Amino acid sequence: MESGKRHGNLVLPGDVSNFMVRFHACQGLTSNHKAQASTNLAWHLEVVYTLVNASVCYVHPSMADTELVSAITFGLTYFYFKYKQSKTKSREARRPRRWWMIKIHRNRTSQFIEDKFNELSGEFDNFCRMSYADFEFLLQKILPMISKHDTDFREAIPAKFRLAITLRSLASGDSYKSLHYLFKVSVPMISKIIREVCQALNEVLKDQVKMPTTAEEWLKIEKGFRTKFPHSIGSLDGKHIVIVEQSISITRKLLALSFWH
């Protein structure tokens, strides 16, 4: 880097730049004192180098230094953001969408949602692992927290549909992809819905559903399981969980199911 010139108390380095910009700043003139100074400034910020030639008219040296630095800072900031903007525009353009909504999602109409609940009228207890009355009770509790507004582009997913998606996921452990085909809701949206609904349920039920806090409460639960399941303090329902098969004898393999649970 070349040695710079001293202007008052400010040392300005020489030209080290490939990007040339001329910036002029002129402040206050008086009849008794007129002066003009020309300086070069090199600024290195990330990969951007900018050379500023500044012409300054000043009344007092200290004032001129302040005005010069302010003007140069403004100019460099402006041209830096212009440079970043041009780099952003030069990047590869984002691939345009082929569809605003894929066909399976476009078929998720209000009538489809009502039909889905009508289909479950006889199997609702098994589908969500609770009665429809309990479902409505939960829905009224969290309705203000999970409801969304319709937009000009699409209708919002109803709150009861959001709750049904969450309860089905918790009850069955189905993958988001399976829920996608069942409810006609995208996988990213299902992930977001389940997270939001679970947070709402935790908020409204934190005083009704909670873990024991004392040894006596844990022993009370254990006493209820003692007859058939001694030393147990809870259960995970009847869910089968597939795990990696262990190394066992051929006899045990013949007696085993198609998966371990």
Q: How confident is the model at residue 142 (pLDDT cuts 50, 70, 90)?
A: very high
Specify the range with the lowest mean pLDDT, choosing from 34-38, 152-156, 251-255: 34-38
Same-domain check for residues 215 and 112: yes
Q: Is the pLDDT of residue 4 over 60?
A: no
Query: Among 146, 135, 133, 129, which Cα is nearest to 197's?
Result: 146
Q: What is the pLDDT of residue 172?
A: 83
- The whole-model pTM stands at 0.48
On whether residue 147 sits in a domain, the answer given is yes
pLDDT of residue 253: 58
Q: Is the pLDDT of residue 160 over 60?
A: yes
Whether the predicted pLDDT of 35 surpasses 50: no
How many CB atoms sit inside 10 A of residue 86's CB? 9
* Nearest partner of 181 among 98, 107, 99, 97, judged by Cα: 107
Residues 150 and 236 in one domain: yes
**Whole-number Cα distances in Å, 80 to 1, 21, 83:** 21, 11, 5
Choose one of 60, 90, 120: the last residue of a domain: 90
Tell me if 44 is assigned to some domain. yes
Q: What is the tens place of the pLDDT at every residue in 13-22?
A: 443 333 333 3
CB 17 within 8 A of CB 66: no
Residue 40, pLDDT score: 39
Q: Are residues 243 and 136 in the same domain?
A: yes
Q: Is residue 40 part of a domain?
A: yes
Residues 134 and 219 in one domain: yes
* Separation CA 190–CA 177 (nearest Å): 9
Instruction: Please indicate, yes or no, whether residues 152 and 69 belong to a single structural domain of this protein.
Output: no
Same domain, 71 and 143: no
pLDDT of 5 reads 45
Measured distance CA(72)–CA(56) in Å, rounded:
11
Same domain, 141 and 247: yes
Domain hosting 77: range is 5-90
C-alpha separations of 130 from 19, 123, 126, 138 in Å: 69, 10, 7, 10
pLDDT at 152: 79
Residue showing tokens 């679970």: 198
Q: How far is CA 140 from each of CA 61, 68, 123, 212, rounded to the nearest angstrom?
A: 72, 64, 21, 27
Classify residue 96: in a domain, yes or no.
no
- 247 vs 242, 243, 244, 258, CA distance in Å? 15, 12, 10, 14
Q: Where are the alpha helices (DSSP H) in 24-130?
A: 61-90, 103-106, 110-119, 124-128
Would residue 259 count as lying in a domain?
A: no
Same domain, 125 and 196: yes
Rounded mean pLDDT of the chain? 69
Query: Quick one: 138 and 64 in the same domain?
Result: no
Residue 138: which pLDDT band, with cuts at 50, 70 and 90?
very high
51 and 174: one domain? Answer: no
Last residue of a domain, one of 62, 90, 118: 90
Question: For 45-66, what is each residue's pLDDT tens digit?
Answer: 443 344 444 444 444 445 556 7
Span 103-115, mean pLDDT? 62
The per-residue pLDDT for range 210-222, each reduced to its tens digit, is 888 898 988 888 8
Q: Is there a single domain that holds both residue 121 and residue 180?
A: yes
Is residue 158 one of the residues assigned to a domain?
Answer: yes
Confidence at residue 24, expressed as pLDDT on a 0 to 100 scale: 41
Kind plus residue range of the DSSP H or E element containing 210: none
The C-alpha atoms of residue 161 and residue 183 are separated, in whole angstroms, by 8
Domain count, the chain: 2
Residues 47 and 109 in one domain: no
Q: What mean pLDDT is predicted for residues 189-208?
A: 92
